[in-house]
Structure 1
């Protein structure tokens, strides 16, 4: 069986942040810039709290079958909630979306390379 790669995005909105929490997020904003966003096994958080209160966690996970994507989404949501809860950050509208990269359409370059192999 082949290993499937899943990309899971967990989005939400910070809620009821006090002044100290906003300052802490602003102080670490460069670490969480959208320009540094990446799908990682441990998850990467990005936000721009100076502009809006939305945030995004990006996770990369693996599985052996299509049904494993459900467990990957649950793990990602659990990690995101834990990160927010550990820091006392309020949040709302948490939702997750996942993509199985083995099911993703090939890009132009990938189609060209696949055609060369055939």
Structure 2
């Protein structure tokens, strides 16, 4: 029996050398990319606060069957983030990724209680 693992990949970086037009464009669309609306999605969700700092975060959700699939998922997420930035002509720097396999994540207090009830 194979189980599907869910991965959450966070790709962070900083906009680099934005011109006035690019900055204005990002500011105009800032409400769509507010961190308060951040979510992990298959297509990736971008959040930033360009008025405060040039940093951005993409959040991706992906899946795989084996633990090693997280590496390919991370590569796909980085490629998608780069493609989005490149398509719009936004230069960037300091791109880095962090991935989490939710099947390996520690259970929260409610989840532990629910699991204990299920086993009882």
TM-score of the pair, normalised by structure 1? 1.00
| Displacement of 1:109 | 0.1
* Residue of structure 1 in register with 2:71 after alignment: 70
Distance in 1 between residues matched to 2:77 and 2:85, nearest whole Å: 12
Deviation >4 Å, runs of 4+: none
* Residue of structure 2 in register with 1:103 after alignment: 104
| Count of aligned pairs between the two proteins | 118
Secondary structure class of the residue paired with 2:66:
coil
| Displacement of 1:113 | 0.2
Residue ranges of structure 2 left out of the alignment (5+ in a row): none
* Residue of structure 2 in register with 1:39 after alignment: 40
Secondary structure class of the residue paired with 1:8:
strand
TM-score of the pair, normalised by structure 2? 0.98
Distance in 2 between residues matched to 1:82 and 1:65, nearest whole Å: 26
* Residue of structure 2 in register with 1:22 after alignment: 23
Residue ranges of structure 1 left out of the alignment (5+ in a row): none
Secondary structure class of the residue paired with 1:88:
coil
Distance in 2 between residues matched to 1:116 and 1:83, nearest whole Å: 45
| Displacement of 1:15 | 0.2
Distance in 1 between residues matched to 2:91 and 2:76, nearest whole Å: 20
